[in-house]
Amino acid sequence: MRSTWWWTRMFSDSSVGFEQLSKPANPALKVLCFPHAGGSANWFRCWKDTAEAESIELWAAQYPGHMGSFSLPPARSIEELAGSFLFALAKKDVSQLILFGHSMGALVAYEVAAQAHDAGIRFGSVHLSGCRSPSSPPELLRSAMSDESLVASIGLLDDSAQNVLEIPEIAEIMLPMLRKDLCMGEEYLVEPKPLEGPIHLHAARNDPEFFPSDAEGWQPYSVRENSIHVYEGMHFYLKNECAAIFAAMKNLTVARQNEGGQR
């Protein structure tokens, strides 16, 4: 399927986009994914085949100033970025849309849901992966590291793939963008704005950024009891676990429908 881009110009100086990665005739789920720091909508193409096989309508968020949108000014904060996405989604029927955010994308997804809650908008459910809660300061301030230290630090997050930042031509393009994203994530320290529904946390056993036990930090951000789903692997475990993540989403959606409420 040819990808569909939906770009929305905001009232601020930035714009956001959505890439549709799969379009089944009768989707079992609709999922919108928010990528990690330095990432783009393109990253979630590794989920495309599984999404099509599972009849899941898959969308990925595109951040301004990232791959595919380099000419656009980047957002200045998680709040601004989330507000732009919510503005773009506000007139859509999102009652069945599942938000999934990984790493910095988890902060964006949560902030979208929190701002939506204040505006009386409810999403189907919220799934957050590999990220501390907004009230837990990060142990490492990567945005202030030297280039060499930053590249090495990112390499430690995933030992199953080449660290592309070690390639000078790629590093020259990616590092400034990555630093801006990391800085936004590090500065996003907010008190809980509890969501009505539970937050579903996803974690890898060997992720140095987010241990399964760290999921407890997200409990104050929901009035319901959150859930935790644990996988094998490191920080980018989700490359190989999309089928398991989709299965968890389907099971939780069925449970929510059976309860007749948000879950």
Per DSSP, the residues of the chain read ---EEEEEE-SSS-EEEEEEEE--SS-SEEEEEE--TT--GGGGGGGHHHHHHTTEEEEEEE-TTSTT-TTSPPPSSHHHHHHHHHHHHTTS--TTEEEEEETHHHHHHHHHHHHHHHTT---SEEEEES---TTS--S--GGGS-HHHHHHHHHTT-TTS--GGGSHHHHHHHHHHHHHHHHHHHH-------BSSPEEEEEETT-SS--GGGGGGGGGGBSSPPEEEEESSSTTGGGT-HHHHHHHHHHHHHHHHHHTS--
Strand, coil or helix: what is 102?
Answer: strand
Strand, coil or helix: what is 93?
Answer: coil
Q: What's the Cα-to-Cα distance from 103 to each of 59, 196, 257, rounded to whole Å?
A: 17, 22, 28
Checking if the pLDDT of 10 tops 60, the result is no
- Provide CB contacts within 8 A for 259, sequence distance 6+: none
Checking if the pLDDT of 120 tops 60, the result is yes
Checking if the pLDDT of 4 tops 80, the result is no
**Whole-number percent of the chain with pLDDT over 90:** 79
What pLDDT band is residue 17 in, cutting at 50, 70 and 90? confident
Q: Which of 107-116, 152-161, 215-224, 228-237 has the lowest mean pLDDT?
A: 152-161
Mean pLDDT for all residues in the chain: 91
Checking if the pLDDT of 11 tops 90, the result is no
Instruction: Give 163-190 pLDDT, tens digit per residue.
Output: 989 999 999 989 999 999 999 999 999 9
**The pairing of beta strand 4-9 with beta strand 15-22:** antiparallel
The residues facing 202 across adjacent strands are 129, 229
Checking if the pLDDT of 95 tops 80, the result is yes
Would you state the pLDDT for residue 189? 94
Would you state the pLDDT for residue 7? 47
For the full predicted model, state whether its pTM sits above 0.85: yes
Would you state the pLDDT for residue 137? 86
Instruction: Give 31-76 pLDDT, tens digit per residue.
Output: 999 999 999 999 999 999 999 999 999 999 999 988 777 778 889 9
Tokens of 165: 């930042």
Would you state the pLDDT for residue 15? 66
Would you state the pLDDT for residue 140? 87
Q: What's the Cα-to-Cα distance from 127 to each of 76, 153, 161, rounded to whole Å?
A: 24, 26, 25
